Amino acid sequence: MKNTQNFISKQADRFLNELIILLKIPSVSADPSYKSQVTDCAKHLANSFKEIGLDKIEICQTAGYPIVYGEKIIDPSLPTVLVYGHYDVQPADPIDLWTSPPFEPVIKKTVIHPAGAIFARGACDDKGQMFMHLKAVEAMLSSGELPCNVKFMIEGEEEVGSGNLAIFVKENKEKLKADIILVSDTGMLANDVPSVTTGLRGLSYVEVEVTGPNRDLHSGLYGGCVANPINVLAEMIASLHDENGKVNIPGFYDRVVELTDTERQEMAKAPFSHEAYCKALDLKETMGEANYSTMERGSIRPTLDVNGIWGGYIGEGAKTVIASKAFAKISMRLVPDQNPEEITALFTHHFNKIAPNSVRVLVKPHHGGEAAVTPIDSIGYKAASMAYEKSFGKKPIPVRSGGSIPIVALFERELGLKTILMGFGLDSDAIHSPNEHFGLFNFYKGIETIPYFYKYFKELNSNP
Protein backbone atom coordinates (compact mmCIF):
# COMPACT_ATOMS: atom_id res chain seq x y z
CA MET A 1 0.00 0.00 0.00
CA LYS A 2 3.07 2.25 -0.25
CA ASN A 3 2.13 3.76 -3.60
CA THR A 4 -1.44 4.26 -2.42
CA GLN A 5 -0.31 6.14 0.67
CA ASN A 6 2.13 8.23 -1.39
CA PHE A 7 -0.63 9.11 -3.80
CA ILE A 8 -2.85 10.20 -0.89
CA SER A 9 -0.13 12.48 0.54
CA LYS A 10 0.53 14.07 -2.85
CA GLN A 11 -3.15 14.62 -3.63
CA ALA A 12 -4.22 15.77 -0.15
CA ASP A 13 -5.02 19.35 -1.12
CA ARG A 14 -6.99 18.35 -4.20
CA PHE A 15 -9.05 15.85 -2.15
CA LEU A 16 -10.04 18.61 0.24
CA ASN A 17 -10.92 21.03 -2.55
CA GLU A 18 -13.15 18.40 -4.13
CA LEU A 19 -14.91 17.82 -0.82
CA ILE A 20 -15.52 21.56 -0.54
CA ILE A 21 -17.26 21.54 -3.94
CA LEU A 22 -19.45 18.61 -2.86
CA LEU A 23 -20.37 20.36 0.40
CA LYS A 24 -21.52 23.47 -1.47
CA ILE A 25 -24.47 21.56 -2.94
CA PRO A 26 -27.41 21.94 -0.53
CA SER A 27 -28.77 18.40 -0.87
CA VAL A 28 -31.41 18.63 1.86
CA SER A 29 -33.67 15.62 1.34
CA ALA A 30 -36.34 16.56 3.89
CA ASP A 31 -37.24 19.90 2.29
CA PRO A 32 -38.92 19.70 -1.16
CA SER A 33 -37.71 23.22 -2.01
CA TYR A 34 -34.18 21.72 -2.46
CA LYS A 35 -35.38 19.13 -4.95
CA SER A 36 -33.24 20.24 -7.89
CA GLN A 37 -30.12 20.60 -5.72
CA VAL A 38 -30.50 17.06 -4.35
CA THR A 39 -30.79 15.75 -7.90
CA ASP A 40 -27.77 17.87 -8.94
CA CYS A 41 -25.80 16.32 -6.11
CA ALA A 42 -26.53 12.83 -7.47
CA LYS A 43 -25.24 13.91 -10.90
CA HIS A 44 -22.17 15.50 -9.36
CA LEU A 45 -21.44 12.28 -7.51
CA ALA A 46 -21.86 10.15 -10.65
CA ASN A 47 -19.28 12.42 -12.25
CA SER A 48 -16.91 11.92 -9.30
CA PHE A 49 -17.34 8.16 -9.79
CA LYS A 50 -16.29 8.64 -13.40
CA GLU A 51 -13.25 10.71 -12.45
CA ILE A 52 -11.91 8.04 -10.11
CA GLY A 53 -12.34 5.38 -12.79
CA LEU A 54 -15.36 3.34 -11.71
CA ASP A 55 -17.32 1.33 -14.28
CA LYS A 56 -21.05 0.73 -14.87
CA ILE A 57 -21.91 4.09 -13.34
CA GLU A 58 -25.63 4.58 -13.04
CA ILE A 59 -27.95 7.16 -11.55
CA CYS A 60 -30.67 4.75 -10.47
CA GLN A 61 -34.04 6.48 -10.38
CA THR A 62 -36.44 5.65 -7.55
CA ALA A 63 -39.81 7.00 -6.49
CA GLY A 64 -37.77 9.57 -4.56
CA TYR A 65 -34.16 10.69 -4.93
CA PRO A 66 -31.77 8.58 -7.02
CA ILE A 67 -29.21 6.07 -5.83
CA VAL A 68 -25.77 6.50 -7.39
CA TYR A 69 -24.08 3.23 -8.33
CA GLY A 70 -20.64 2.41 -9.68
CA GLU A 71 -18.22 -0.51 -9.48
CA LYS A 72 -14.74 -1.81 -10.23
CA ILE A 73 -14.56 -5.52 -10.72
CA ILE A 74 -10.89 -6.43 -11.13
CA ASP A 75 -11.25 -10.20 -10.75
CA PRO A 76 -14.49 -12.06 -10.01
CA SER A 77 -12.61 -14.53 -7.83
CA LEU A 78 -11.56 -11.79 -5.40
CA PRO A 79 -13.76 -10.64 -2.51
CA THR A 80 -16.12 -7.72 -3.15
CA VAL A 81 -16.62 -4.74 -0.85
CA LEU A 82 -19.93 -2.89 -1.13
CA VAL A 83 -19.57 0.71 0.06
CA TYR A 84 -22.73 2.40 1.30
CA GLY A 85 -23.17 6.05 2.23
CA HIS A 86 -25.52 8.98 1.69
CA TYR A 87 -25.23 12.25 -0.21
CA ASP A 88 -28.31 13.86 1.34
CA VAL A 89 -28.02 16.08 4.40
CA GLN A 90 -30.21 17.32 7.24
CA PRO A 91 -31.86 20.73 6.99
CA ALA A 92 -29.47 23.47 8.14
CA ASP A 93 -31.86 25.34 10.42
CA PRO A 94 -31.66 27.17 12.77
CA ILE A 95 -29.52 29.16 10.33
CA ASP A 96 -28.75 32.08 12.67
CA LEU A 97 -26.84 29.79 15.03
CA TRP A 98 -24.24 29.01 12.33
CA THR A 99 -21.03 31.04 12.62
CA SER A 100 -20.56 30.68 8.84
CA PRO A 101 -23.15 29.81 6.17
CA PRO A 102 -23.93 26.04 6.12
CA PHE A 103 -23.28 25.59 2.41
CA GLU A 104 -20.18 27.77 2.20
CA PRO A 105 -17.55 25.46 3.69
CA VAL A 106 -14.73 27.04 5.69
CA ILE A 107 -11.80 25.56 7.59
CA LYS A 108 -11.39 26.62 11.20
CA LYS A 109 -9.25 25.39 14.06
CA THR A 110 -11.01 24.16 17.21
CA VAL A 111 -9.78 22.88 20.59
CA ILE A 112 -10.58 19.31 19.57
CA HIS A 113 -9.36 19.78 15.99
CA PRO A 114 -6.14 21.83 16.29
CA ALA A 115 -5.24 20.89 12.71
CA GLY A 116 -8.51 22.41 11.50
CA ALA A 117 -11.98 21.17 10.70
CA ILE A 118 -14.21 21.81 7.73
CA PHE A 119 -17.48 23.49 8.73
CA ALA A 120 -20.55 22.80 6.57
CA ARG A 121 -23.81 20.90 6.67
CA GLY A 122 -22.98 17.31 5.74
CA ALA A 123 -19.24 17.71 6.46
CA CYS A 124 -19.31 14.70 8.78
CA ASP A 125 -22.80 13.28 8.11
CA ASP A 126 -22.19 11.94 5.58
CA LYS A 127 -20.55 13.68 2.61
CA GLY A 128 -17.11 14.01 4.21
CA GLN A 129 -17.10 10.41 5.38
CA MET A 130 -18.61 8.96 2.20
CA PHE A 131 -16.10 10.93 0.09
CA MET A 132 -13.16 9.36 1.97
CA HIS A 133 -14.13 6.07 0.32
CA LEU A 134 -14.08 7.55 -3.17
CA LYS A 135 -10.64 9.01 -2.57
CA ALA A 136 -9.27 5.84 -0.96
CA VAL A 137 -10.44 3.79 -3.95
CA GLU A 138 -9.07 6.40 -6.34
CA ALA A 139 -5.69 6.14 -4.62
CA MET A 140 -5.66 2.33 -4.77
CA LEU A 141 -6.76 2.29 -8.43
CA SER A 142 -4.24 4.91 -9.53
CA SER A 143 -1.45 3.03 -7.79
CA GLY A 144 -2.52 -0.34 -9.17
CA GLU A 145 -3.00 -1.58 -5.63
CA LEU A 146 -6.74 -2.28 -5.35
CA PRO A 147 -6.88 -5.67 -3.58
CA CYS A 148 -10.64 -6.37 -3.86
CA ASN A 149 -13.56 -5.67 -6.15
CA VAL A 150 -15.59 -2.69 -5.07
CA LYS A 151 -19.16 -1.55 -5.56
CA PHE A 152 -20.49 1.86 -4.49
CA MET A 153 -24.12 2.49 -3.59
CA ILE A 154 -24.70 6.04 -2.35
CA GLU A 155 -28.27 7.09 -1.61
CA GLY A 156 -30.04 10.43 -1.27
CA GLU A 157 -32.73 9.62 1.26
CA GLU A 158 -30.95 8.37 4.37
CA GLU A 159 -32.02 11.36 6.45
CA VAL A 160 -35.66 10.71 5.55
CA GLY A 161 -35.77 6.99 6.28
CA SER A 162 -34.25 5.22 3.22
CA GLY A 163 -37.71 4.04 2.08
CA ASN A 164 -36.77 3.78 -1.59
CA LEU A 165 -33.37 2.23 -0.93
CA ALA A 166 -35.15 -0.63 0.85
CA ILE A 167 -37.09 -1.33 -2.38
CA PHE A 168 -33.92 -0.94 -4.50
CA VAL A 169 -32.02 -3.46 -2.36
CA LYS A 170 -34.83 -6.02 -2.59
CA GLU A 171 -34.98 -5.64 -6.38
CA ASN A 172 -31.22 -5.64 -7.07
CA LYS A 173 -29.81 -8.52 -5.07
CA GLU A 174 -27.67 -9.80 -7.95
CA LYS A 175 -26.19 -6.38 -8.71
CA LEU A 176 -25.37 -5.85 -5.04
CA LYS A 177 -23.72 -9.23 -4.53
CA ALA A 178 -20.72 -8.72 -2.27
CA ASP A 179 -18.83 -10.19 0.67
CA ILE A 180 -19.07 -7.31 3.09
CA ILE A 181 -20.68 -3.88 3.37
CA LEU A 182 -18.44 -1.01 4.40
CA VAL A 183 -19.92 2.18 5.84
CA SER A 184 -18.42 5.36 7.29
CA ASP A 185 -21.45 7.12 8.77
CA THR A 186 -20.79 6.79 12.50
CA GLY A 187 -18.20 8.10 14.92
CA MET A 188 -15.19 7.11 16.99
CA LEU A 189 -14.33 7.85 20.62
CA ALA A 190 -11.53 10.39 20.12
CA ASN A 191 -8.72 11.11 17.68
CA ASP A 192 -6.29 9.24 19.92
CA VAL A 193 -8.84 6.56 20.91
CA PRO A 194 -9.91 4.86 17.68
CA SER A 195 -13.03 2.72 17.83
CA VAL A 196 -15.18 0.66 15.50
CA THR A 197 -18.95 0.83 15.84
CA THR A 198 -20.40 -2.61 16.53
CA GLY A 199 -24.03 -1.70 17.07
CA LEU A 200 -26.70 0.76 16.04
CA ARG A 201 -30.04 1.37 17.69
CA GLY A 202 -33.33 0.92 15.89
CA LEU A 203 -35.99 3.57 15.66
CA SER A 204 -39.72 4.03 15.95
CA TYR A 205 -40.90 7.57 15.21
CA VAL A 206 -44.43 8.84 15.73
CA GLU A 207 -46.30 12.10 15.60
CA VAL A 208 -49.23 12.65 17.96
CA GLU A 209 -52.14 15.03 17.76
CA VAL A 210 -54.40 15.79 20.71
CA THR A 211 -57.70 17.54 19.98
CA GLY A 212 -59.87 19.19 22.63
CA PRO A 213 -62.66 21.59 21.66
CA ASN A 214 -63.49 21.98 17.96
CA ARG A 215 -62.13 25.58 17.90
CA ASP A 216 -59.74 27.81 19.82
CA LEU A 217 -61.47 29.27 22.90
CA HIS A 218 -61.21 32.34 25.15
CA SER A 219 -59.19 31.08 28.12
CA GLY A 220 -61.24 33.20 30.54
CA LEU A 221 -64.64 32.04 29.34
CA TYR A 222 -63.72 28.36 28.95
CA GLY A 223 -60.54 27.89 31.01
CA GLY A 224 -61.05 25.24 33.70
CA CYS A 225 -64.21 23.90 32.05
CA VAL A 226 -62.87 22.01 29.05
CA ALA A 227 -59.77 19.93 28.49
CA ASN A 228 -56.83 22.04 27.34
CA PRO A 229 -55.10 19.78 24.79
CA ILE A 230 -51.70 21.29 25.58
CA ASN A 231 -52.08 20.61 29.31
CA VAL A 232 -53.34 17.11 28.56
CA LEU A 233 -50.53 16.34 26.09
CA ALA A 234 -47.92 17.54 28.60
CA GLU A 235 -49.37 15.24 31.27
CA MET A 236 -49.57 12.30 28.90
CA ILE A 237 -45.97 12.78 27.84
CA ALA A 238 -44.83 13.13 31.45
CA SER A 239 -46.45 9.78 32.25
CA LEU A 240 -44.40 7.99 29.57
CA HIS A 241 -41.47 7.59 31.99
CA ASP A 242 -41.64 6.17 35.50
CA GLU A 243 -39.68 7.37 38.54
CA ASN A 244 -36.74 5.12 37.55
CA GLY A 245 -36.48 6.62 34.11
CA LYS A 246 -37.98 3.53 32.48
CA VAL A 247 -40.34 3.87 29.54
CA ASN A 248 -43.83 3.35 30.91
CA ILE A 249 -45.45 1.57 27.97
CA PRO A 250 -46.66 -1.97 28.71
CA GLY A 251 -44.65 -4.51 26.70
CA PHE A 252 -41.95 -1.98 25.71
CA TYR A 253 -39.10 -4.01 27.27
CA ASP A 254 -40.48 -7.48 26.47
CA ARG A 255 -38.04 -8.32 23.69
CA VAL A 256 -35.05 -6.29 24.89
CA VAL A 257 -31.88 -8.38 24.88
CA GLU A 258 -30.11 -7.76 28.19
CA LEU A 259 -26.33 -7.79 28.15
CA THR A 260 -24.47 -10.20 30.39
CA ASP A 261 -22.40 -8.82 33.27
CA THR A 262 -19.25 -9.74 31.36
CA GLU A 263 -20.42 -7.80 28.32
CA ARG A 264 -21.23 -4.79 30.48
CA GLN A 265 -17.84 -4.96 32.19
CA GLU A 266 -16.19 -5.14 28.78
CA MET A 267 -18.16 -2.06 27.67
CA ALA A 268 -17.22 -0.13 30.80
CA LYS A 269 -13.54 -0.37 29.83
CA ALA A 270 -14.02 2.23 27.09
CA PRO A 271 -12.72 5.57 28.35
CA PHE A 272 -15.52 7.89 29.49
CA SER A 273 -15.36 10.98 31.68
CA HIS A 274 -18.67 11.98 33.23
CA GLU A 275 -17.19 15.33 34.13
CA ALA A 276 -15.99 16.07 30.59
CA TYR A 277 -19.33 14.89 29.21
CA CYS A 278 -21.26 17.32 31.46
CA LYS A 279 -18.83 20.13 30.78
CA ALA A 280 -19.09 19.76 27.01
CA LEU A 281 -22.88 20.10 27.24
CA ASP A 282 -23.01 22.71 30.02
CA LEU A 283 -24.86 20.37 32.34
CA LYS A 284 -24.74 20.01 36.12
CA GLU A 285 -25.89 16.41 35.98
CA THR A 286 -26.96 13.69 33.56
CA MET A 287 -30.17 11.68 33.81
CA GLY A 288 -31.66 8.46 32.52
CA GLU A 289 -32.68 4.92 33.35
CA ALA A 290 -31.67 3.87 36.87
CA ASN A 291 -28.86 1.33 37.27
CA TYR A 292 -27.29 2.00 33.87
CA SER A 293 -24.27 4.15 33.04
CA THR A 294 -24.46 7.07 30.63
CA MET A 295 -22.66 4.98 27.98
CA GLU A 296 -25.18 2.18 28.44
CA ARG A 297 -28.18 4.51 28.43
CA GLY A 298 -27.01 5.86 25.11
CA SER A 299 -26.35 2.57 23.35
CA ILE A 300 -27.66 -0.71 24.77
CA ARG A 301 -30.87 0.61 26.33
CA PRO A 302 -34.06 1.67 24.54
CA THR A 303 -35.28 5.23 25.12
CA LEU A 304 -38.17 7.59 24.38
CA ASP A 305 -37.77 11.29 23.61
CA VAL A 306 -39.98 14.14 22.53
CA ASN A 307 -38.30 15.74 19.51
CA GLY A 308 -40.74 18.59 19.07
CA ILE A 309 -43.89 19.91 20.72
CA TRP A 310 -46.20 22.67 19.58
CA GLY A 311 -49.64 24.20 19.80
CA GLY A 312 -51.42 27.36 20.91
CA TYR A 313 -50.13 30.89 20.76
CA ILE A 314 -46.37 31.40 20.44
CA GLY A 315 -46.24 34.88 18.87
CA GLU A 316 -45.29 38.20 20.49
CA GLY A 317 -46.97 39.24 23.73
CA ALA A 318 -49.82 37.38 25.41
CA LYS A 319 -52.93 35.97 23.83
CA THR A 320 -55.48 34.43 26.16
CA VAL A 321 -56.51 31.31 24.33
CA ILE A 322 -57.13 27.61 24.77
CA ALA A 323 -55.96 25.91 21.60
CA SER A 324 -58.09 23.31 19.90
CA LYS A 325 -55.06 21.09 19.19
CA ALA A 326 -51.62 20.18 20.51
CA PHE A 327 -48.92 18.15 18.75
CA ALA A 328 -45.67 16.34 19.45
CA LYS A 329 -43.08 14.30 17.58
CA ILE A 330 -41.72 11.39 19.56
CA SER A 331 -38.79 9.08 18.81
CA MET A 332 -38.10 5.75 20.45
CA ARG A 333 -34.59 4.33 20.03
CA LEU A 334 -34.67 0.57 20.01
CA VAL A 335 -32.23 -2.22 20.78
CA PRO A 336 -32.08 -5.89 19.70
CA ASP A 337 -34.65 -7.64 19.47
CA GLN A 338 -37.31 -4.92 19.65
CA ASN A 339 -39.44 -4.74 16.53
CA PRO A 340 -40.21 -1.19 15.31
CA GLU A 341 -43.72 -2.01 14.03
CA GLU A 342 -44.58 -3.75 17.27
CA ILE A 343 -43.24 -0.86 19.35
CA THR A 344 -45.22 1.64 17.27
CA ALA A 345 -48.35 -0.47 17.83
CA LEU A 346 -47.70 -0.70 21.58
CA PHE A 347 -47.20 3.06 21.74
CA THR A 348 -50.35 3.77 19.75
CA HIS A 349 -52.46 1.48 21.90
CA HIS A 350 -51.05 2.91 25.13
CA PHE A 351 -51.34 6.54 24.06
CA ASN A 352 -54.99 6.07 23.16
CA LYS A 353 -55.60 4.26 26.41
CA ILE A 354 -54.17 6.97 28.68
CA ALA A 355 -56.02 9.79 26.91
CA PRO A 356 -58.85 11.23 29.03
CA ASN A 357 -62.36 11.18 27.50
CA SER A 358 -62.22 14.95 27.20
CA VAL A 359 -59.83 14.77 24.21
CA ARG A 360 -59.34 12.76 21.03
CA VAL A 361 -55.90 11.54 20.02
CA LEU A 362 -54.37 10.56 16.72
CA VAL A 363 -51.02 8.75 16.40
CA LYS A 364 -49.31 8.96 13.03
CA PRO A 365 -46.37 6.59 12.49
CA HIS A 366 -43.29 7.87 10.62
CA HIS A 367 -40.22 5.92 9.52
CA GLY A 368 -38.56 3.30 11.65
CA GLY A 369 -35.99 0.57 11.57
CA GLU A 370 -34.42 -2.28 13.47
CA ALA A 371 -31.28 -2.19 15.59
CA ALA A 372 -28.17 -3.94 14.29
CA VAL A 373 -25.11 -5.48 15.94
CA THR A 374 -21.85 -6.65 14.37
CA PRO A 375 -19.88 -9.58 15.76
CA ILE A 376 -16.23 -8.85 16.62
CA ASP A 377 -14.92 -12.28 15.66
CA SER A 378 -15.69 -11.96 11.94
CA ILE A 379 -13.12 -11.53 9.17
CA GLY A 380 -14.61 -8.11 8.42
CA TYR A 381 -14.18 -6.88 11.97
CA LYS A 382 -10.65 -8.28 12.17
CA ALA A 383 -9.70 -6.57 8.91
CA ALA A 384 -11.05 -3.27 10.26
CA SER A 385 -9.24 -3.73 13.54
CA MET A 386 -5.94 -4.43 11.77
CA ALA A 387 -6.45 -1.44 9.47
CA TYR A 388 -6.89 0.95 12.43
CA GLU A 389 -3.96 -0.60 14.21
CA LYS A 390 -1.82 0.06 11.14
CA SER A 391 -2.87 3.71 10.70
CA PHE A 392 -3.46 4.81 14.32
CA GLY A 393 -0.77 2.66 15.92
CA LYS A 394 -3.31 1.11 18.30
CA LYS A 395 -6.15 -1.38 18.22
CA PRO A 396 -9.63 0.15 18.00
CA ILE A 397 -12.16 -0.38 20.81
CA PRO A 398 -15.50 -1.94 19.77
CA VAL A 399 -18.31 0.46 20.74
CA ARG A 400 -22.06 0.25 20.34
CA SER A 401 -23.56 3.51 19.15
CA GLY A 402 -26.88 5.13 20.00
CA GLY A 403 -27.61 6.40 16.50
CA SER A 404 -29.56 4.61 13.80
CA ILE A 405 -28.87 3.59 10.22
CA PRO A 406 -32.01 1.50 9.65
CA ILE A 407 -30.81 0.14 6.31
CA VAL A 408 -28.03 -1.85 8.00
CA ALA A 409 -30.49 -4.40 9.44
CA LEU A 410 -32.16 -4.62 6.04
CA PHE A 411 -28.82 -5.31 4.32
CA GLU A 412 -28.39 -8.28 6.59
CA ARG A 413 -31.92 -9.59 6.09
CA GLU A 414 -32.12 -9.07 2.31
CA LEU A 415 -28.52 -9.53 1.19
CA GLY A 416 -27.29 -11.76 4.01
CA LEU A 417 -24.37 -9.37 4.49
CA LYS A 418 -22.79 -7.97 7.62
CA THR A 419 -21.82 -4.31 7.74
CA ILE A 420 -18.55 -2.93 9.07
CA LEU A 421 -19.04 0.55 10.52
CA MET A 422 -15.76 2.41 10.18
CA GLY A 423 -16.81 5.85 11.39
CA PHE A 424 -14.27 8.66 11.73
CA GLY A 425 -16.49 11.46 13.11
CA LEU A 426 -16.53 12.64 16.71
CA ASP A 427 -19.64 13.16 18.86
CA SER A 428 -18.58 16.79 19.20
CA ASP A 429 -18.71 17.30 15.41
CA ALA A 430 -22.28 18.60 15.78
CA ILE A 431 -24.01 16.43 13.17
CA HIS A 432 -27.64 17.53 12.60
CA SER A 433 -26.80 20.74 14.55
CA PRO A 434 -25.62 24.20 13.58
CA ASN A 435 -21.86 24.35 12.89
CA GLU A 436 -21.48 20.74 11.85
CA HIS A 437 -17.84 20.03 11.07
CA PHE A 438 -15.38 17.26 10.27
CA GLY A 439 -11.75 17.28 11.38
CA LEU A 440 -9.14 17.36 8.63
CA PHE A 441 -7.18 14.84 10.70
CA ASN A 442 -10.25 12.58 10.60
CA PHE A 443 -10.83 13.06 6.87
CA TYR A 444 -7.25 12.14 6.01
CA LYS A 445 -7.01 9.38 8.61
CA GLY A 446 -10.10 7.82 7.07
CA ILE A 447 -8.59 7.94 3.58
CA GLU A 448 -5.40 6.42 4.97
CA THR A 449 -7.15 3.63 6.94
CA ILE A 450 -9.65 2.44 4.31
CA PRO A 451 -7.07 0.96 1.88
CA TYR A 452 -5.66 -1.19 4.70
CA PHE A 453 -9.13 -2.58 5.28
CA TYR A 454 -9.21 -3.79 1.66
CA LYS A 455 -5.72 -5.26 2.00
CA TYR A 456 -6.44 -7.19 5.21
CA PHE A 457 -9.94 -8.19 4.13
CA LYS A 458 -8.49 -9.82 1.03
CA GLU A 459 -5.68 -11.49 2.98
CA LEU A 460 -7.99 -12.83 5.69
CA ASN A 461 -10.43 -14.12 3.08
CA SER A 462 -7.80 -16.24 1.39
CA ASN A 463 -6.11 -17.14 4.67
CA PRO A 464 -8.52 -16.79 7.61
Which residues are catalytic, by number? 88, 158
Q: Which stretch binds ligand BES (CB under 6 A): 185-193, 226-234, 235-243, 375-383?
A: 185-193
Span 109-168, contacts to ligand BES by CB under 6 A: 125-126, 158-159, 161
Binding Mn ion (rule: CB under 5 A), the pick from 126, 138, 179, 370 is 126
Q: If binding is defined by CB under 6 A, does position 367 make contact with ligand BES?
A: yes
Span 267-296, contacts to ligand BES by CB under 6 A: none
We find the least distance from the C-beta atom of residue 202 to ligand BES, in angstroms, to be 10
We find the least distance from the C-beta atom of residue 403 to Mn ion, in angstroms, to be 8
Span 167-226, contacts to Mn ion by CB under 5 A: 185
Binding ligand BES (rule: CB under 6 A), the pick from 122, 403, 439, 446 is 403
Q: Which stretch binds ligand BES (CB under 6 A): 31-39, 381-389, 398-406, 444-452?
A: 398-406
Q: If binding is defined by CB under 6 A, does position 442 make contact with ligand BES?
A: no
Site string for ligand BES, 78-107 (x = CB under 6 A): ------------------------------
Q: Which stretch binds Mn ion (CB under 5 A): 63-71, 122-130, 164-172, 390-398?
A: 122-130
Q: If binding is defined by CB under 5 A, does position 138 make contact with Mn ion?
A: no
Q: If binding is defined by CB under 5 A, does position 436 make contact with Mn ion?
A: no
We find the least distance from the C-beta atom of residue 421 to ligand BES, in angstroms, to be 8
Q: Which H, E and C letters describe the chain, residue by residue?
A: CHHHHHHHHHHHHHHHHHHHHHHCCCCECCCHHHHHHHHHHHHHHHHHHHHHCCEEEEEECCCCCCEEEEEECCCCCCCEEEEEEECCECCCCCHHHCCCCCCCCEEECCCCCCCCEEECCCCCCCHHHHHHHHHHHHHHHHCCCCCCEEEEEEECCHHHCCHHHHHHHHHCCCCCCCCEEEECCCECCECCECEEEEEECEEEEEEEEEECCCCCEECCCCCCCCCCHHHHHHHHHHCCECCCCCECCCCCCCCCCCCCHHHHHHHCCCCCCHHHHHHHHCCCCCCCCCCCCHHHHCCCCCEEEEEEEEECCCCCCCCCEECCEEEEEEEEEECCCCCHHHHHHHHHHHHHHHCCCCCEEEEEEEEEECCEECCCCCHHHHHHHHHHHHHHCCCCEEEECCCCCCHHHHHHHHHCCCEEECCCECHHHCCCCCCCEEEHHHHHHHHHHHHHHHHHHHHHHHCC
We find the least distance from the C-beta atom of residue 48 to ligand BES, in angstroms, to be 20
We find the least distance from the C-beta atom of residue 124 to ligand BES, in angstroms, to be 8
Where does this chain bind Mn ion (CB under 5 A)? 125-126, 185
